[in-house]
Amino acid sequence: TPAREVLTWDRFGEVTRELARDIWDSGYRPEIIVSVARGGLLPAGAIAYALDLKSMLVLNVEFYTGIGVTLKDPRLVEPSGDVRGMAGKKVLIVDDVADSGRTLRFVKELCEEYATEIRVAVLYEKSRSVLKPDYAYLHTDAWIAFPWSDKDPVNGGQAEA
Ligand code: 5GP
């Protein structure tokens, strides 16, 4: 088993800043950020502030039901933002990691029905990902511990996911 990759809050702050810098320097000027909940919420928020962008659309996508256990396909679950909000816009999709890449491929295909231009930004890219993100700052094939999800929930994890 590969060692676990640990992202600290400090490093998260640096990485989102650098990603936003890369996006800006590439000349891409997104008009709306599509955040893939829940993993993409904090990265998307940090990148939105760094890009001085206020327009956010949250898509709630379900794929994993446990560590390494997935549904047959990723799917949109309620409540999600109104996808028509990205009609005719340049979109930046933000998520925590492209692992299998299937979640991002699903989200990108959904966005393609509405948006004029789409790019994808992630903190981490894994080598097996079926979707190649336009912006990825870190690369690993290990299981990643993110600072927002590396501790047990305060209720001991008893609520439904
Ligand atoms: P994918 O569809 O690319 O396989 O991954 C979908 C989601 O699963 C990611 O956005 C992330 O929330 C979760 N995930 C995938 N790989 C990891 C990992 O290494 N660590 C954690 N904490 N979550 C992961």
Q: So what's the ipTM on this one?
A: 0.98
Peptide bond into 79 cis (omega under 30): yes
CA angle 32, 49, 103 (to 5 degrees): 50
Q: Which atom of ligand 1 is nearest to the CA of 140?
A: 19
Query: Per residue in 59-91, pLDDT tens?
Result: 999 998 887 899 999 999 999 999 999 999 999
Q: Which atom of ligand 1 is nearest to the CA of 131?
A: 3
Query: Per residue in 22-67, pLDDT tens?
Result: 999 999 999 999 999 999 999 999 999 999 999 999 999 999 888 7
The answer to whether the CB of 70 is under 6 A from ligand 1 is: no
The answer to whether the CB of 43 is under 6 A from ligand 1 is: no
Which pTM value belongs to this model?
A: 0.95
Cβ–Cβ contacts within 10 Å for residue 58, how many?
A: 17
Query: Per residue in 136-152, pLDDT tens?
Result: 999 999 999 999 999 99
Residues in the chain: 161
